Amino acid sequence: MKWVLLAGAILSEVGATLALRASEGFRKRIWIVPVGAGYLLSFVLLYLCLGQGMPIGVAYGIWSAVGVALTAVLARILFQEPFTWTMALGIVAIAIGVFLIEVGAAR
């Protein structure tokens, strides 16, 4: 269950971040509610995930790494923002770091 909660936290955070981008600095006020609700839901789900016993270093590492990667890819698709090989390499480096944190937490 903790992995489902973490996945929900990640998706909520990414959705809120994309809504924040879509709001164009809150000039499009219709996006204010999805931004606030998405971030609130994300933190509630992360809280519940931690309550299920997932170590915070693992949860936060995965949450932030997957969030960064997914946001960058979706921003490219939805908003035509740049996605360069350097950015892709950075995402791979983050993924390796999260993997090492998870392996270290298992010992």
Per-residue pLDDT of the chain (107 residues; tens, 9 = 90+): 999 999 999 999 999 999 999 998 888 989 999 999 999 999 999 999 999 999 898 898 889 889 999 999 999 999 999 999 999 999 899 889 888 887 887 76
CA distance 98 to 20: 26
CA distance 41 to 4: 13
Q: Residue 107: its pLDDT value, please?
A: 67
- DSSP letter assigned to residue 83: -
Condensed to tens digits (0 to 9), the pLDDT of residues 71-97 reads 999 999 999 999 999 999 998 998 898
Q: Which residues contact residue 36 at a Cβ distance below 8 angstroms, ignoring those fewer than 6 apart? A: 16
Which residue in the block uniquely carries the two structure tokens 């990640």? 10
What does pTM read for this prediction?
0.88
Which residue in the block uniquely carries the two structure tokens 């006020």? 29
C-alpha closest to that of 58 among 10, 101, 14, 23: 101
